Chain A
Amino acid sequence: MSNQATELLVSACIQSLQAYPPFDRMEAESLRFLAQRVKLAHYPSGARILARESGVARTLYILQRGRVDVVRSGGDRKRESSSVTLGPGQSFSIGALMAQRETVGAYVARDDVFCYELAAEDFFALTQKSTVFNLFCTQYIADLLRQSQQQLQLQLAQRAAEQKTMNSPLSMILSREPVAVTADTPVRRVVELMASQHLGSMVVVDAERQPVGIFTLSDILKRIVLPGASLEQAIAEVMSPAPQTLPVAANAHDAALLMAMHRVRHVLAVDEGGRLRGVVSERDLFKLQGAGLRQIRHAIDAATSIAVLQHAREDVRQLALTMLSEGVGAQEITQFISTLNDAVTRRVIELNLDRHDFYGIDWAWLAFGSEGRDEQTFTTDQDNGIVFICTDIMDREQTQLRFLDFAREVNDDLDKCGFPLCKGNIMASNPELCLTLEEWEEKFAQWVRTPEPLALLNATIFFDFRPLHGRFNLAHRMRLSLLRQTQANPLFLRMLAQNALEVAPPLGRIRDFVTGDDPEHPGTIDLKKYGVRLFTDAARLFALANQVEATNTVARLRRASSLMKIAAEETAAIVDGFNFIQMLRLRHQHFEQEHGRSGDNLIRPDELNEVERHILKESFRQARRLQVRLKLDYQI
C-alpha cells in the first residue's frame, strides 16, 4: 500500500541512507526498493542483536543510529577475541546472509541502537536488482578473505617463531639423549658405538656424568688409524680432554661463538650440576640458520651432481615454509616453488645433456599440469614431455629413441631429487609424450575434434604446458595451433565446460560442507579435486575460449575476465578464493610432511577454526560463481 504517509517515511529513510556508502551511489530505483521494505527496530544497550545462536542469518541490519560492537569469538582461544565497532550506515552481517549460515561473531548494541532491518529474500532481490549493492557485497566478501589471510599468516608466523632459531636455548636444539662412555672404556667399544648409532662424536664422562673429554670421528683417523694405535687401550688415552661446555640455558649464538673461539666442532651442554645433557655440533647450528633464496638458487645453478640438487630441494621446502609464515601469499609461494623446481629441473637436464648430444636438433622440455601452470605445492610428481623438430622423416625413429634415452635418465634423476615418477606415466620417457611438433599438433587437434572423456581428461593436463628448457618457440607454436583448434571447435569448449561442471563445490545445503565419501578418510575434503580443480578448469576454459596464452590460473582468470568484461572486483574475489584454498593446501601439506607423512590434500573442515571455515565456504562460493558463469556461457 503506497500512500502519502508511507511516501514521507520512505523518502526520509532514503535520505538518511544516502549519507553512507554504498547507498550514496545506489541506483534511485533500488534505493527506493530498499527503503520500502526495511523495518526500523530498536535495541537497548547490551542487547545481542545477532549472534551465532540466532541461527542462519535471515536479516540484513543497517545501522541508523547508535553503535554496535562486533565480538569475535576466537573459538577456544580467548586472546584471539577482538572487537570492532560499527556505526551509522554500516551493515551486518553480509557474509552470513550471502552464505545462508550463522554469523561468526556476536553483534551487541553498545548504546541505544536503531537499525533498519531487511528480510533475507528482499536482500537477495536487492543484490539482483542493484549492481552497486551487488558489487558492495562482493567486495565485502573479498575483504573478509583478506582479513582471514592476515589472520592465517599471523598464526603461521607464531609457529615459525616457536621454531628453533639461533636465539633458541640449547635445551631446545638438543634432540637426542647424549651417548657417553666412561674414561676406562676401550677404544674399540667406543668406535663400535659411534658406528652403530651414527654418532659424530663420543663424550667421555666421569662417575657424576660430568664430561671429562670428547672423541670425534676425525680423531679416529688422526689418533688411531694413522699412528696404528691399539683399539684395546682406554679411550682416556686418545680423547681430547677438558671439552668446551655451556649451560643448557645458553643459546645457539653462544655455542657458535665458543666453537669459533676454540676452533672446535662440538660443544657440550651441561646442567647446573655440570652433568652432560647433550652435544651441539657445528652442523646442528648450520641447520638453524637456514638458507636464503639467493643461496639456494646459486647452489642449484652451480650444482655439479644430483646429490647437491637433492639438498637444494629440501632447502626449497624450508624456505617456502618461512615465506608462508612471513605472510607471503599462496600465489607467490606456489610460483616461487615452481621457479625453484624449474631451476632444479633445468639443472638436472643440463647435467644429463653432458652425456647426450642433440646438436643441430631443435627441441624443448615441456612441463604439464600444475608445474605447467606455475602452481606447484610441496608435493608434486613429474608431468613432463619433449617436443622436437625432425627435418627428415627417415630420422624420426632414431631421434625419438635418443630423446627417450635422455628422458629416462632425467626422469630418474628428478625422482632422486624429490619429484616422484608420475604414476600415470606422464613423463618425457613415455614414447607417447616424446613427439615431434607436428605430432603434438596432431594429438591436440584430435582431442579437440573428438572430445571423448579421455581426450577431455588429457586436455586438463596437457593443455597447461610450458617450456622449461630448449627452444621455447616450439612451445609457442604449439600454443598458437592449439588456440586455433579450440577457436574452430565450439563443441569442444562446450564439452570441456561440461567436464568442468562434473565436480561441484562441496557446499552443503544443511551442513556447511559436504565431505568426501572415501571410507578411508571420512570427514575430509580433497582440496585439489573439490577446490583448486574447480578454479583451474574454469580458468583453462576461459583462456582457450578467449585466446589467452597464459597457463597460470590467476593470470588466465585476470586476462580472460577483462576480455569477458567481468568486473575487476568480481575477479579479485575469485582469485582471493583460489589463493585461500591454495594457502590451506600448502599449510596442510607442510604440517603433514612435518609429521613424516606424505602431504595429501585432504583437510578436515572440522579442524579449521571458525574464521577459516567461513572463508573456505566463501571460497567455494566463488568457485560456484565460476561454474554458474560456465553454465550460462555454454548453456549447460
Chain B
Amino acid sequence: MVWLSNLFTGPHAQAQRLTKGQLQRISAWRRLPAPDLSRSHYRSRYVLIDIAIAGEDWQNGPLGAIGALALADGLIDFNAALQLSMVHPAVADDAARPPGEPLPVAVIRGEQRVEALLALLAFVGKAPLVAFHASFVARRIERVLAKALGVELDLPWIDLAWVMAGLFRELGDKQARMDAWLEHFGVVSIERHNPVSDAYALAQLLQLALARAAHKGFETPASLVELEKARRHLYPRA
C-alpha cells in the first residue's frame, strides 16, 4: 500500500519510504475509534501539544521540537509525557537564543524522524488536542505528519487562547498572551519555550479551564469545541 499512502501525501512525494512494521503501526492508529467528545472532562483524555521552531524565522522556520503531555481524567501524569526533537540538538538549543548570527539548522531526517513521529502518533492516539494558538500548532504538526508518515491527523483541536478568553473575563474580553495567563494564575513554566515545560504549564491552564468550564455548564470536550467556535464567530478578527 506504499503507493497509496504516497498518493495521499500528494506534493510531498519525497516522503520517506516506510517499512512494513511502520505501515502496520499507522494502520493500527487509523483503526482506533474516533474520540468520544461527549464524556465529562474528568473522564476524557486530552493531549497538550507545544512546539518549538528552529532558527530565526518563527513563522516559517523548521519545526525544532514537539512536546506532548496527556491530561487524563483531569490528572497530569509525568510518565505520560513526550519530547521529540525534529532538528539536531546543538542547533535546536542555539535557536532558542535569537541574538547573533542565525545558525544553520540541521533537520533530523529519515528513519529517526519517522520513528519520532510514529511515537507521537501512538502517544496522541485519537485524543482531542489542545494547544495555545492551536491553528498555528495544528498546521505545523499536521504538515509534518502528512509529509513523513502520509497521515492525515483529522483530530479536533482546542485552542486554549480562545477557550481561556471565553471562560475567564478577568483579563479583559480579548485574547491574552500565554505569559499573561501564566502570570495571572501563578503557573510557572519550568523552562519557558521548552515545549515539554510549556505543555506542562498549558496542562495546568487546561485544568483551571476545565474546572471553570464545568462550573459554567461546558462539561465535555465537545462543549469546549463549541465554545471556541462560538467565540470565533463573535470575534472574527481577534
Contacts and interface: CB of A to CB of B under 8 A. Distances in A.
Contacts of A41: 74-76, 207
Interface in A8-26: 8-10, 12-13
Nearest to B211: A44
Interface string B195-222: 0110010011001101110010000000
Contacts of B77: 39
Contacts of A335: none
Contacts of A143: none
A36 B191 CA distance: 19
A121 to B, nearest CB: 16
Given A9-B196, A39-B76, A41-B75, A4 B208 contact: no
Contact of A8 (B68, B76, B190, B215): B190
A533 interface: no
Given A40-B76, A44-B212, A8 B204 contact: no
Nearest to A40: B76
A65 B187 CA distance: 9
A231 B194 CA distance: 112
A114 B210 CA distance: 13
A6 B190 CA distance: 13
A8 B196 contact: yes
- By secondary structure, the A interface counts as mixed
A618 interface: no
Contacts of A42: 74, 204, 207-208, 210-211
A571 B1 CA distance: 72
Interface in B29-86: 67-69, 74-79, 81-83
B57 to A, nearest CB: 26
A44 B68 CA distance: 25
B185 interface: yes
A445 B187 CA distance: 72
Contacts of B67: 5
A184 interface: no
Contacts of A36: 78-79
B83 A10 contact: no
Given A43-B211, A44-B212, A9 B75 contact: no
Nearest to B67: A5
B11 interface: no
A343 interface: no
Contacts of B208: 42, 44, 112
Given A40-B75, A42-B207, A43-B211, A6 B185 contact: no
Given A40-B204, A42-B208, A43-B211, A6 B75 contact: no
Given A42-B211, A112-B185, A1 B79 contact: yes
B204 A114 contact: yes
Interface string A34-49: 0110111111100100
A65 B188 CA distance: 11
B212 A3 contact: no
A40 B75 CA distance: 6
Nearest to A38: B78
B78 A35 contact: yes
B76 A3 contact: no
Nearest to B74: A41
Given A36-B79, A41-B207, A44-B211, A9 B200 contact: yes
A36 to B, nearest CB: 7
B99 interface: no
A44 B207 CA distance: 9
A9 B212 contact: no
A5 B76 contact: no
Nearest to B203: A40
A39 B203 CA distance: 12
A117 interface: yes
Interface in A41-67: 41-44, 47, 65
A238 B215 CA distance: 88
Contacts of A9: 69, 78, 81, 190, 196, 200
A8 B211 contact: no
A2 B196 CA distance: 14
A4 B83 contact: yes
B21 interface: no
A261 B212 CA distance: 77
B186 interface: yes
B40 to A, nearest CB: 15
A39 B79 CA distance: 9
Contacts of B74: 41-42
B228 to A, nearest CB: 20
A122 to B, nearest CB: 13
A99 to B, nearest CB: 25
Contacts of B82: 3, 5
B79 A8 contact: no
A580 to B, nearest CB: 38
Given A10-B78, A35-B78, A44 B83 contact: no
Contacts of B75: 39-41, 117
Interface string A455-493: 000000000000000000000000000000000000000
Contacts of A12: 190, 197, 200
A5 B203 CA distance: 14
A3 B83 contact: yes
A65 B182 CA distance: 14
Contacts of B197: 8, 12
A112 B208 CA distance: 8
A13 B186 CA distance: 16
B224 to A, nearest CB: 16
A38 B80 CA distance: 12
Contact of A6 (B79, B203, B211, B215): B79
B185 A8 contact: no
B191 A8 contact: yes
A41 B191 CA distance: 21
B211 A5 contact: no
B83 A8 contact: yes
Contacts of A1: 79
Interface string A247-282: 000000000000000000000000000000000000
Contacts of A35: 78
Contacts of B196: 4-5, 8-9
B185 A44 contact: no
A12 B185 CA distance: 18
Interface in B84-135: none
Interface in A435-471: none
B186 A65 contact: yes
A322 B203 CA distance: 59
A3 B81 CA distance: 8
Contacts of A13: 78
B167 to A, nearest CB: 12
A26 B185 CA distance: 29
Given A5-B69, A65-B186, A44 B215 contact: yes
A6 B78 CA distance: 5
B72 to A, nearest CB: 9
A5 B190 contact: no
Nearest to B83: A5
In order of increasing CB-CB distance, the 5 nearest A-B pairs are A42-B207, A5-B81, A5-B83, A44-B211, A40-B76
Given A5-B196, A44-B212, 11 more contacts: A4-B196, A8-B190, A8-B197, A9-B78, A12-B190, A12-B197, A13-B78, A36-B78, A39-B78, A41-B74, A65-B186
18 contacts: A3-B82, A5-B67, A5-B68, A5-B69, A5-B81, A6-B79, A8-B81, A8-B190, A8-B197, A9-B81, A9-B200, A39-B75, A40-B75, A40-B204, A41-B75, A42-B208, A43-B211, A44-B212
Interface of B: 67-69, 74-79, 81-83, 185-186, 190-191, 194, 196-197, 200, 203-204, 207-208, 210-212, 215
